[in-house]
Amino acid sequence: MLLLLKEKENKMNWIIEENVDKSTIKALSKELNVDPVISSMLVNRGIKTFNQAKDFFRPNLGQLYDPFLMMDMDVAVNRILKAIEQKQSIMIFGDYDVDGTSSVALLSTYLKEIGADISTYIPDRNSEGYGVSLKAIDLASKNKQELIIALDCGIKANSQVEYALKKGIDFIICDHHNPSEIMPNALAVLNPKRRDCNYPFKELCGCGVGFKLVQAINSRRGLEIEKIIHYLDLVALAIAADIVPIVDENRTLAHLGMQIINSNPRMGMHCILKNNMKKEFNIGDLMFYVAPRINASGRIAHASLSLELLLEEDFGKAEKLCKKIEKLNTERREIEKKITEQALEQINKSSNQDVFSTVVFDKSWNRGVIGIVASRLIEKHYKPTVVFCKSEDGNLTASARSIKNIDLYKILEQCKKYILQFGGHKYAAGLTIKEKNYNHFKECFEKAVSNDVKKLPEPEIRIESKIQLESITPKFYRILNQFEPFGPGNRTPSFLSDELVLDGAVKKVGKNKEHIKLSVQQNQQNSISAIGFWLSEKSNIIKADSPFSMVYNIDQNTWNGKTTTQLKIKDIK
């Protein structure tokens, strides 16, 4: 049962997910000896028995599926082993984002270890664009390479594969994006989303598919899976960055990958994370701290810099690469901020504000950051959003993002006649159109979205449970941590507490005073500190003599060697 509380001031819906299966919650709480709030969270995630809870809290290698259940896996393994045996050189091609660079780092390192002659290739975002490039195929042909393995892309590279075949080059595609009706004529297409693929889990990221290929080769060579577990740090990074559902096999891969990162991280990740004061990192640290930096080189310069960092084993060299990437990330943030401001100004000047979608364009915008800008615009306007810029070939390139219950891929399918090419997921996609078709596409996109929904959904916060602050004990927090890694399908739990009072003053903090810090009390108990990022406007509604309600995540803060409980505020009313 969902209880809905509507916040009039910012149209944010608070939805409390109350589970009606009280008897199961009570029984599980008793069997596990945990707070009913914890057992309710488990039941909400489909976990109703002791054994299911044990599997959930203790992900292990035994939970990974047989990689040979994936369509074409046998063919792919045979071709790669043949290339190694016959000393054929292999090109490993990957997309320029975190998922792509992580995939290339993983597969290239593994194949080198088992004796393969390999080269790596990541396309230039601006001059080559997304997907398999003809330039790469020409280079492979020039170097007499007879096999290309494409990672995190290629599912729509029909013409590129045909071009390669004419040059005597075989193709293996490892992808996770939605396939078209007609797939490329590659030797092997590894993609769990294929309609004819019976692999039991469909939501792997590109690096996850790459790992399944490594797992299959390792198995064929008669080795235990423990031999390749150290590669899971890259898989965890890609899972976090690509925002795939952290359920089923992804949960296992991410959990085990985080163990590697917290015990023996590769040098590149260590150099990025070492300035962070935390003792132990989680998937959120990868998503919000590591991934943007790995992405920065591909957005502003060339993603080969990030690949180099992920492959580097020397601390000194990794440090130098890290500094270069940090500088690019700072530049990326400045460019992104400027473009977002320009896009918002363009939207505000529009004569028709009462629309279901946002489509904006400026020829000067940087292609590397338009995806982030699209996400920023959704935070402001909460509508399916497409942000276009001009590419070097004269066409318009866009990043598109969507909102809850609106399938972006299906919307773009309805606008195919105005699109040269597109690909992606339900909530994120990339596309290219001719400049003359911009207005036609904009009208078509708006019509498709408006036909799909009669009313746009409002932004919402889904709340696990209403709790008292006194429930936040060390044991409660310790068990809560075992729900990690959090992400889509297993989101970070948000809690609601009512009748809170301010203990002291509200402080505005941050470079531009955009955040707030405060301490709260309930029932005259000990106070707990809280921080609200980007919530400075909320300071006006918190009064010293007036109780308020707050939705928050439970976290810890370490300062001067002391660790204390801290609430991360999501909303206040």
CATH number of the domain bearing residue 157 = 3.90.1640.30
> For residue 454, is pLDDT > 80?
no
Diameter over CA atoms, the chain: 79
422 bridge partner residues = 431
Query: Where does a domain end: 413, 433, 452?
Result: 452
**Are 117 and 156 found together in one domain?**
yes
* Domain-located, residue 343: no
Q: Which of 452, 477, 496 marks a domain boundary?
A: 452
Identify the DSSP state of 65. P
**pLDDT confidence band for 421 (50 / 70 / 90):** confident
51 inside domain: no
User: Does residue 528 lie in a domain region?
Assistant: yes
The pLDDT of residue 351 is 64
Report the predicted TM-score, pTM, of the whole model to 2 decimal places: 0.87
> Which pLDDT belongs to residue 9?
39
In a domain, 475, yes or no: yes
Nearest-angstrom CA–CA distance, 552 and 570:
5
- pLDDT digits over 398-408, tens only? 999 998 888 99
Q: How many domains does the chain have?
A: 3
Backbone angles phi, psi at 324, to 5 degrees: -60, -45
Range of the domain at 21: 2-43+462-572
Question: Mean pLDDT, to the nearest integer, of 353-359?
Answer: 87
Q: What's the whole-number mean pLDDT along residues 191-204?
A: 96
CATH code of the domain covering residue 495: 2.40.50.460
Report angle CA 558, 564, 568 to the nearest 5 degrees. 85
pLDDT at 353: 67
Quick: pLDDT tens for 20-53.
Answer: 678 899 999 999 988 889 999 999 888 999 999 9
Determine which helix (DSSP H) or strand (DSSP E) holds 161, and give its type and residue range: helix 158-166
Indicate whether 475 pLDDT > 70.
yes
Q: Are residues 315 and 365 in the same domain?
A: no
Q: What is the pLDDT of residues 207-217, one digit of tens each?
A: 999 999 999 99
pLDDT at 129: 78
Check the CA dihedral 360-362-368-372 and report its sign.
Answer: negative
Report, in angstroms and rounded to the nearest whole number, the Rg of the chain calculated over CA atoms.
Answer: 25
- DSSP state for residue 230 in the 8-state scheme: G
Does residue 471 share a domain with residue 448? Answer: no
Query: What is the per-residue pLDDT for 1?
Result: 41
239/488 Cα distance (integer angstroms) = 10
My answer on whether 395 and 443 are in the same domain is yes
Is residue 201 in a domain? yes
* Residue 249 located in a structural domain: yes
pLDDT at 277: 65
Helix runs in 382-407, H state only: none
Beta bridge partners of 563: 558
Lowest mean pLDDT among 196-210, 297-311, 312-326, 542-556: 542-556
**The pLDDT value given to residue 4:** 42
H or E segment at 428?
A: strand 428-433
Q: Provide the 8-state DSSP code for 490.
A: B
Residue 382 located in a structural domain: yes
Residues 486 and 397 in one domain: no
Which of 307, 323, 339 lies at the terminal end of a domain, its last residue?
A: 323
pLDDT in tens, 268-296: 999 999 877 677 899 989 998 999 999 99
Specify whether 155 is located in the same domain as 205: yes
Distance CA(119)–CA(104), nearest Å, equals 10
Question: How high does pLDDT run on average in the chain?
Answer: 91
Q: What is the per-residue pLDDT across 370-392, written as a single tens digit (0 to 9) for each?
A: 999 999 999 888 899 999 999 88
Positive or negative, the CA dihedral 80, 83, 87, 91 is: negative
Q: 156 and 264 share a domain?
A: yes
Asked whether residue 287 falls in the same domain as residue 376, the answer is no
Same domain, 446 and 508: no
| CATH number, residue 388 | 3.10.310.30
Same domain, residue pair 254 and 301 = yes
Pair (122, 181) in one structural domain: yes
The proportion of the chain whose per-residue pLDDT surpasses 70, expressed as a percent, equals 97
Same domain, 307 and 359: no
- Structural domain contains residue 57: no
Q: Could you give the dihedral angle defined by the CA atoms of residues 142, 143, 145 and 150, in that order, rounded to the nearest 10 degrees?
A: -80
Q: What percent of the chain stands above pLDDT 90?
A: 68
